[in-house]
Amino acid sequence: MELKTIAITSLKPFQRNPRAHPDSAIKKLVKSIETYGWTNPILVNKDMTVLAGHARLKAAQEMGFKEVPIIILDIPDNYVAGYVIADNRIQDETDWDLPTLKDLLQELDDGSVNMELTGFDEHEIEMLMTAQYQDPPVPGQPDAKINKCPECGYEW
């Protein structure tokens, strides 16, 4: 791996990137970069093709950046498409710890921070902060009830 700052015009988006970035997400990212600065480099291969960071690249272009930080990955050409897919897919399997998220949002809600800089809109923040969350039951305890979705089999 190598960290550099290069001209934005040197970068080539991966033409078959399977992840779409709606304008609403790019606007949130622009606000985040304006507030927090550039915190995550764009990942490229040796020929400057973007492997991860297409949304950051798009936000940087909209913001008029001339240069951006990159990390050059040494990934064989036959692994590039797989990496691009994995980078976008793996995060899909994560979930929010909703009680902890609620606590963090409540801590931030002191008027000193624009709450929408969290990436949630006003309606989402209101829903998250007013929801009632309970600790999950512990299997094996008498009052624990395991529910199962009849369609997918997911248990909670």
* Phi, psi values for residue 131, rounded to 5°: -70, 150
Res. 154: pLDDT tops 80 = no
pLDDT in tens, 81-113: 999 999 999 988 898 999 999 999 999 999 898
What is the distance between the alpha carbons of residues 141 and 125, in angstroms, rounded to a whole number?
A: 34
Tell whether pTM > 0.85.
no
- Spell out the domain ranges in the chain: 2-93, 98-130
Classify domain 2-93 by CATH number: 3.90.1530.10
User: What's the confidence (pLDDT) of residue 133?
Assistant: 77
Q: How far is CA 78 from the centre of its chain?
A: 26
Query: Is residue 131 very low, low, confident or very high in pLDDT (cuts 50, 70, 90)?
Result: confident
Res. 58: pLDDT tops 90 = yes
End-to-end CA distance of the chain: 41
Query: Is residue 1 very low, low, confident or very high in pLDDT (cuts 50, 70, 90)?
Result: confident
- Neighbouring C-beta atoms of residue 53, cutoff 10 Å: 22
Q: What is the DSSP secondary-structure string of 92-136?
A: GG----HHHHHHHHHHHTTTTS-GGGGS--HHHHHHHHH----PP
Helices (H), 17-117: 23-36, 54-62, 80-89, 98-108
Residues 55-77 have a mean pLDDT of 96
Q: How far is CA 16 from the centre of its chain?
A: 20
